[in-house]
Amino acid sequence: MMESASILSNDESDALRGPLQLGPVTIRNRVFLAPLSGVTDLAFRQRAHAHGAGLVVSEMVASGELARGRAESARRMRRPEIDVHMVQLAGREAHWMAEAARIAAGAGADIIDINMGCPAKKVTGGYCGSALMRAPDHALALIEAVVAAVSVPVTVKMRLGWDETALNAPLIARRAEEAGVAMVTVHGRTRCQFYKGQADWRAIARVKQAVGIPVVANGDVTNAADAAAILKQSGADAIMVGRAHYGAPWVAGAIAAGRDGRPGALEDYVIDHYEAMLSLYGIEHGLRHARKHLGWYLDRHAGQVAPEQRKAIMTGTDHRAVIAGLRAAFRAEKGVLAA
């Protein structure tokens, strides 16, 4: 990752380091960790926060499942040891969205975020996520129900629209503001683009021009150079970083602080994260859940590991053997670790 201080101007750097106020909630800086389903669990958010991310968002929590007391939803919602706890809810029914918001706020959520941006077919097929952008009136009914249900700030994360023929993010954002939403985050793609092509940062500016509340720009930010460009092109108040965190929970904090935030003792760091996931999920489920994270760490920081060594780490069923394999892989890689 590039050295942030060498890319961001003094004004841009100061803007990102400065706090952002949402009602009674003070967000310490303006570089956020995006909600990533299956990734930004409690263990991951704790690490991103410790590295200096201004705001970290939970994995998407299904509102109906949370309201019905499902253990997985409750685990996704759990508050880490952080100063501002933001829970993202997804759903299509106002009743369940409001009930889930009350549960989340009662369990310590400082901010409730409404998912109107997820492009996954299993989400949009249930008329949730970015599918809500095809039905603005229905989306507003959900927003109004959540705002009425809680006293904490409510935010919305969306895309530019469903497809290129319906770029309605400015309209929905303006209506959301009128309904009481405190902040909107916009990913610079349509739902139909998924993650293909390049995010359109200039299109986010149209949302910024349509509202008076803070706008967060999201999509393809990987380093300080991207942060500078997205701020300039979108005029946004803050930025959100997602997939760049794969194998690097420190990216948002590093951009905000203007430094390379990678831990020095990377071997110990990866193993500590691995053990935290085993503790969170239990050994059996933790072994499976951790594999994608270990794959990202190996790809990003130990690319020279032998194929058979990587396979043993990725498929191992004895966590002690996996830890031993990680130590061997990272020790062999010392001196050539990727940023």
Question: Could you report the per-residue pLDDT of 180-207, keeping only the tens digit for each?
Answer: 999 999 999 999 888 898 999 999 999 9
**Structure token digits, residue 195:** 């993650």
**Tokens found for residue 39:** 């990734």
Q: What is the DSSP string of 56-76?
A: EEEEEEEHHHHHTT-HHHHHH
118 is catalytic: yes
pLDDT tens digits, one per residue of 14-52: 779 899 999 999 999 999 999 999 999 999 999 999 999
* pLDDT (tens digit per residue) in 222-240: 999 999 999 999 999 999 9
> What residues are paired with 156 via a beta bridge?
114, 184
pLDDT above 70 for 287: yes
Judge contact between 219 and 199, C-beta under 8 A: yes
Helix, strand or coil, per DSSP, at residue 115:
strand
pLDDT (average), residues 174-178: 98
Question: Does residue 1 register a pLDDT over 70?
Answer: no
User: DSSP code of 130?
Assistant: G
Of 238, 260, 252, 249, give the one whose Cα is nearest residue 18.
238
CA 17 vs. chain centroid, Å, equals 18
CB 157 within 8 A of CB 117: yes
Which residue among the candidates 8, 67, 116, 118 is catalytic per the annotation? 118
Output the average pLDDT for the chain: 92
Query: Mind listing the pLDDT tens digit for each residue in 78-96?
Result: 999 999 999 999 999 999 9
Is 318 in a helix, a strand, or coil? Answer: coil
Query: Over 90: is that where the pLDDT of 57 sits?
Result: yes
Band of pLDDT at residue 9, cut at 50, 70 and 90: low
Among 111, 69, 68, 106, CA closest to 89: 111
Are 192 and 163 spatial neighbours (Cβ–Cβ below 8 Å)? yes
Maximum distance among all alpha carbons in the chain? Answer: 57
Residue 11 has a pLDDT of 65
